[in-house]
Structure 1
């Protein structure tokens, strides 16, 4: 059970860092939305999304996680678009 507790504690630490990074990413997404709005650029940029996914997949050491990481980034970018869209409707 000590091993389980140790793993859970480490996961808790990682989750805290993920939350901090998530918040930074959403803040930057809002800034991107502002720049796009000022320059009359649409929110969706499919080419950029694919570049982000491919770049991050290249960082992956354990390729068994490829499908899951791709889904993670697709979901993350969808959340970023929601933030950008929300910003544009204020």
Structure 2
């Protein structure tokens, strides 16, 4: 197996974990959406989003990835807001 193939296998294993964790996050997001729906709360909580991003950026060991992690979490939260919005409309 080439070095490149080994790296790709490592990425595949990480992607498997990310998929499992993303699914768990979305299931929890739906529970949050149900709570918000029952209590007439808006989907967007901008201050919470900024706190989540900041908290996770602070967890980075390698700060060179700060911009990328910020984009990653912003994209993920955009997806979760869409997911909550769809659920709340049904």
Q: TM-score, normalised by structure 2?
A: 0.97
Q: 1:66 & 1:41 partners in 2: Cα distance?
A: 31
Summarize the alignment of residues 53-64 of structure 1 with structure 2, pairs less than 5 Å apart. 53-64=53-64
RMSD value, Cα: 0.8
- Any gaps of 5 or more consecutive residues in structure 2? none
Q: CA deviation at 1:81?
A: 0.2
- Any gaps of 5 or more consecutive residues in structure 1? none
Q: TM-score, normalised by structure 1?
A: 0.97
Q: 2:65 & 2:74 partners in 1: Cα distance?
A: 14
- Structure 1 position 65 matched with structure 2 position 61: no
Q: CA deviation at 1:73?
A: 0.3
Summarize the alignment of residues 17-36 of structure 1 with structure 2, pairs less than 5 Å apart. 17-36=17-36
- Structure 1 position 74 matched with structure 2 position 74: yes
Q: 1:82 & 1:26 partners in 2: Cα distance?
A: 11
